[in-house]
């Protein structure tokens, strides 16, 4: 048995070593390695440019990810919890999900948005907007792994 976050951290480490264009950023990703520490130690190992913290503006995080992806990088944008995707849904549905269609295949934005389900704690973690997310982001893949090994496989495939 191994802690699930270690499976993801080890997988991210392998991907960062193999693909120099992979970067990760978001709420608490850099210094503490994410709210569940799946990026623990990655900033020290790969530097502040490849693993960094952002402000808590979900729209900005997704917008940065779109721009970075369209310039050839392979960003992983971290949003702390699934519930907070509500604040970025307009950018995801209007911009990210449609960029390839709107440009007749001329542009793509291969952005991974990483988040996790709520822990049923506090007023902001009491519900799940999953149905709304699935219906709002046509043109994007929404992956929900059943365990961390499957999650690592999703990251590798995407």
pLDDT at 55: 92
Distance CA 44, CA 55 (A): 20
| Closest alpha carbon to 137 in 145, 129, 128 | 129
Domains annotated for the chain, with CATH where assigned, are 4-157 (3.40.50.970)
pLDDT at 126: 58
pLDDT at 81: 86
pLDDT at 130: 76
- Look up residue 123 and give its DSSP letter: G
Summarised one tens digit per residue, pLDDT across range 24-59 is 999 999 999 998 899 999 999 999 999 999 999 999
pTM of the predicted model, to two decimals? Answer: 0.90
Specify burial of residue 16 (Cβ count, 10 A radius: 0-12, 13-18, 19+): buried
> In this model, does residue 88 exceed pLDDT 70?
yes
Do residues 81 and 118 make contact, with C-beta atoms less than 8 angstroms apart?
Answer: yes
Instruction: Establish whether 125 is a catalytic residue.
Output: yes
Sign for the CA dihedral angle at 92, 62, 107, 130 comes to negative
Summarised one tens digit per residue, pLDDT across range 95-122 is 999 999 999 999 999 999 999 875 555 5
What percent of the chain clears pLDDT 70, i.e. is strictly above it? 93
Which is catalytic among the residues 36, 118, 125, 140? 125
Place 146 in a pLDDT band, splitting at 50, 70 and 90: confident
Do residues 61 and 88 make contact, with C-beta atoms less than 8 angstroms apart?
Answer: yes
């Amino acid at each position: 048995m191994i802690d699930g976050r270690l499976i993801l951290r080890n997988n991210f480490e392998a991907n960062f070593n193999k693909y120099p264009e992979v970067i990760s950023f978001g709420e608490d990703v850099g210094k503490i390695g994410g709210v569940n520490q799946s990026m623990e130690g990655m900033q020290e190992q790969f530097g502040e440019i490849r693993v960094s913290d952002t402000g808590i503006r979900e729209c900005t995080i997704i917008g940065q990810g779109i721009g970075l992806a369209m310039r050839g990088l392979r960003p992983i944008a971290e949003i702390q919890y699934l519930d907070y995707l509500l604040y970025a849904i307009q950018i995801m549905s209007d911009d990210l999900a449609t960029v390839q269609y709107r440009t007749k295949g001329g542009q793509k934005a291969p952005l991974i948005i990483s988040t996790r389900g709520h822990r049923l704690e506090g007023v902001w973690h009491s519900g799940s907007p999953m149905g709304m997310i699935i219906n709002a982001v046509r043109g994007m893949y929404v992956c929900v792994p059943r365990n961390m090994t499957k999650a690592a496989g999703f990251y590798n495939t995407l």
